[in-house]
């Protein structure tokens, strides 16, 4: 009886350690690269009505770093897709000192649609980032060194803190995630990244790539607890047979 209790406690301890490790790890689950076009990402300075958008739906190469219905049935790692992006400013731009500029953004929506649907589904990822009506939140921050050509746009939701970032997909599920991060990096910004006399970032165009991460990993990566128990029990049974 004592041996059985010890084994059960050991199994429970293993489960707890695995769960804690999974929840502590921020996992990059997808990224994309630009597949065509020249500087399609466009910031338009219009004061409080400034926007940061794609001039038109942009051809991109999308990469899942998780197994799912799309990339798990023989498709290539590269998924040809189309991206859309819209956003607006959340507040005037800021000079953070040390040559760093930041432009707060909100109402950010990115949608990635596969060119080839699978079982009638094609939405690889939809991300929405905004303030949620809370003054302490935004959606993201467009930032970079004054005069640089490689600004970035990033945001993060960590539980009830940070920005309000939601993600959905036809192929991976985020019901279990408490943190969702995104980061887009731009290059060849023209003109250079700088701030206008009206306090907002000057208009510019750029090329871009991006990554998306969550904590814990999207649902497609996490084994069901029951399945994990069976795996562990199978190992115990094998050990018993060997003894």
Instruction: Indicate the SS3 state at residue 196.
Output: coil
For residue 156, give the nearest of 225, 214, 196 by alpha carbon: 214
> Residue 74's pLDDT is what?
58
pLDDT of 133 > 60? The answer is: no
Give the structural domain span for 89. Answer: 22-219
For residue 186, give the nearest of 40, 31, 30, 35 by alpha carbon: 40
Residue 190 lies in a domain: yes
User: Encoding tokens for residue 188?
Assistant: 């060849």
Residue 226 lies in a domain: no
> Residue 158's pLDDT is what?
72
User: Encoding tokens for residue 56?
Assistant: 């038109």
pLDDT of 222 > 70? The answer is: no
What angle, 0 to 180 degrees and rounded to 10, lies between the N-to-C axes of helices 2-24 and 225-242? 140
Structurally, the chain folds into a number of domains equal to: 1
pLDDT grade, residue 216 (50/70/90)? confident
pLDDT, tens only, 57-86:
999 999 999 888 888 765 568 999 999 999
Angstrom distances, CA of residue 132 to CA of 7, 17, 138? 47, 34, 8
Residue 234 lies in a domain: no
> Residue 16's pLDDT is what?
41
Residue 240 lies in a domain: no
Q: Residue 59: which residues within 8 A CB-CB, separation 6 or more?
A: 34, 35, 36, 37, 80, 81, 82, 83
Residue 96 lies in a domain: yes
What mean pLDDT is reported for the chain? 82
Residue 10 lies in a domain: no
Q: How much is the pTM? A: 0.79
Residue 11 lies in a domain: no
pLDDT, tens only, 150-167:
999 999 887 655 678 999
Residue 130 lies in a domain: yes
């Amino acid at each position: 009886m004592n041996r059985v209790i010890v084994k059960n406690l050991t199994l429970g301890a293993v489960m707890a350690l695995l769960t804690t490790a999974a929840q502590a790890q921020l996992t990059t689950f997808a990224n994309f690269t630009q597949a065509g076009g020249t500087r399609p990402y466009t910031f338009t300075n219009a004061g409080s009505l400034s926007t940061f958008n794609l001039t038109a739906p942009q051809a991109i190469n999308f990469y899942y770093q998780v197994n799912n219905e799309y990339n798990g049935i023989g498709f290539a790692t590269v998924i040809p897709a189309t991206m859309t992006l819209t956003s607006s400013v959340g507040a005037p731009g800021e000079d953070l000192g040390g040559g760093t500029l930041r432009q707060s953004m909100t109402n950010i929506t990115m949608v990635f649609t596969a060119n080839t649907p699978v079982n009638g589904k094609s939405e690889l990822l939809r991300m929405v980032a905004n303030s949620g009506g809370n003054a302490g939140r935004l959606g993201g921050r467009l930032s970079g060194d004054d005069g640089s050509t490689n600004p970035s746009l990033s945001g993060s939701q960590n539980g009830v803190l940070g920005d309000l970032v939601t993600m959905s997909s036809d192929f991976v599920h985020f019901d279990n995630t408490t943190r969702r991060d995104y980061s887009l990096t731009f290059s060849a910004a023209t003109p250079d990244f700088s701030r206008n006399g009206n306090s907002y970032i000057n208009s510019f165009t750029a090329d871009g790539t991006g990554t998306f991460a969550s904590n814990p990993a999207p649902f497609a990566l996490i084994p069901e607890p029951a399945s994990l128990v069976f795996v562990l029990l199978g190992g115990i049974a094998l050990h018993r047979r060997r003894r």
